[in-house]
Structure 1
Amino acid sequence: MKHKEHSQFTRWLYRIGLVILLLISLGLIFNQQIKNYLVSSYQPKITAKSAADNDKKQANFNFKNAKSLNFSTVANARMNSKKILPVGQILVPKSGIHLPIAKGVANTTLALAAGTMRSDQKMGHGNYPLAGHHMVRKDILFSPLYFKTRVGDTIYTTDMKQVYTFKVYRRAFIAATRVDVVNQTKANIITLVTCDATGARRLMIRGRLTHTAKLADTPVKVQKGFEARFNNK
């Protein structure tokens, strides 16, 4: 009788072990897919008022605390997405980029949006730097910058009142220590920064401001681009 009970207990433990191993295996297999889904599900509604209100709030600009985009970081960001402060949108049609722009570079912000890198930056005035993550999938966050964006491409940003049009004039890989690219400039430019394929360096995209107009006065195609779902899909 005792031998039979021991045998049943052993089989029970064996089955539990198999279930645990199966769950771990599935987690490892679908880790990237789940992470992509969590990022893509962030579709905030941004208005001129909410963008202006968020721009007045305090944010974290300590880039040294930024973490790599692992599953834990993304899951935590999605659960705390209300802490993100959207201040506008960025649209790069040729690369398929359409993302919310949020204030600061907190891990929660960078996991789901492009983040502003200085507390005093303003669209269309001097240097407007944005940071974003480069992921395995080529159409999420700033990944398209690495795979698709080239010199001559057009970049649009909006604070939901005005649309600022930039033309890319420089695409370069720089050292991760080059924090000077965030500094203010006399020229009205945009600076986009993301990791390279190895994570050791940074890809920097720079564009010159070529045009400014009210959102309602921009071409319909651009307006529809801003109205569409964000490219994390």
Structure 2
Amino acid sequence: MQNNKRVVGFILLIAGAIMISIPFFYEWKQNQKTAALEEALSLVSQSDEVDLASINHLSLSQSELDEVIELEIPAIELKQKILPNTTEENLSIALTQIKSNQTLGEGNFTIAGHRGYREDRHFHSLPDVPIGAEVILHDKEERYIYEITSMQVIDPTYVEILEDKPNQNELTLITCTIDGKKRIALQGKLAHMK
């Protein structure tokens, strides 16, 4: 009887250790992919001819790397890369463009990001961005500066928020609420380009 209790206790201990280690393993895998992305972007910025096959854990093509832009929100000290396509894998390592074939400074430029549990990742602090804050999108040549005009909590099915409005150049940033049941949407208008 005593041996059975020890065996059960040992099994529960091992199961608990595995359960605790799963998030750490997942984060370790994410960090590898993020580091690969950063390495690739650094190499691409230095040279036109880069052997991407030499970069371990890189899941993006040369054309996708060429389309990567950067989002900066000074009010929450955020600087993140934005990948051109929204996939689960891309969302795990960076922010993503929601709509395909978007053009910076034209229409409603839409960006999605996971909330993240760490303060320095993805859109963790997006709800803390105040109305009137600047949001800057950087591509290789220009900076597009938007001013946040609204924040709202919406249902995941409210996709109309992503639509272009006639003669309006906007930005929409989307993340989940903490419980994941709703979405937080920040919108801003294009103030100017530099």
Give the TM-score, by structure 1 length.
Answer: 0.64
User: 24, 31, 36: which one pairs with 2:15?
Assistant: 24
1:98 is matched with 79
* Conservation of the 8 A alpha-carbon contact between 1:189 and 1:208: yes
Amino acid at match of 1:39: Q
Higher relative contact order (Cα pairs below 8 Å, separated by 6+ residues) = 1
Q: Would you say 1:193 and 2:174 are equivalent positions? A: yes
Structure 1 residues 145, 37: CA separation in 2 closer, same or farther (over 3 Å shift)?
Answer: farther
If you compute each CA radius of gyration, which structure gives the higher value, 1 or 2?
Answer: 1
Q: How does 1:78-97 map to 2 (within 5 A)?
A: 81-83=58-60, 85-86=64-65, 87-97=68-78
Amino acid at match of 1:124: G
Cα deviations by residue, 1:6-28 (Å, 9 ceiling, x for unpaired): xxxx89x949x83x644432232
Partner of 1:90: helix, strand, or coil?
strand
Counting aligned pairs with the same residue, the percent is 23
User: 65, 86, 107: which one pairs with 1:126?
Assistant: 107
In 1: Cα distance, 2:157 partner to 2:7 partner: 51
Amino acid at match of 2:87: A
1:76 is matched with none
In 2: Cα distance, 1:27 partner to 1:151 partner: 43
Which structure 1 segments of 5+ residues have no match?
A: 1-9, 54-78, 214-233
User: 137, 141, 144: which one pairs with 2:122?
Assistant: 141
Partner of 1:108: helix, strand, or coil?
helix
User: 89, 92, 95: which one pairs with 1:108?
Assistant: 89
Shift of 1:38: 3.9
Shift of 1:80: 5.7
In 2: Cα distance, 1:211 partner to 1:39 partner: 35
Give the TM-score, by structure 2 length.
Answer: 0.75
User: 161, 164, 176: which one pairs with 1:184?
Assistant: 164
1:155 is matched with 135
* Conservation of the 8 A alpha-carbon contact between 1:192 and 1:206: yes
Cα deviations by residue, 1:65-98 (Å, 9 ceiling, x for unpaired): xxxxxxxxxxxxxx86423734211111221221
In 1: Cα distance, 2:144 partner to 2:109 partner: 11
Shift of 1:33: 4.1
Q: Which range moves more in the overlay, 194-203 or 20-29?
A: 20-29
Shift of 1:181: 1.4
Q: Which range moves more in the overlay, 130-139 or 106-115?
A: 130-139
Partner of 2:125: helix, strand, or coil?
helix
Amino acid at match of 1:209: L
Shift of 1:167: 1.1
Shift of 1:100: 0.9
Partner of 2:117: helix, strand, or coil?
coil
Taking only aligned residues, the RMSD between alpha carbons, in angstroms, comes to: 2.9
2:154 is matched with 174
Partner of 2:161: helix, strand, or coil?
helix
Equivalent pairs, count: 173
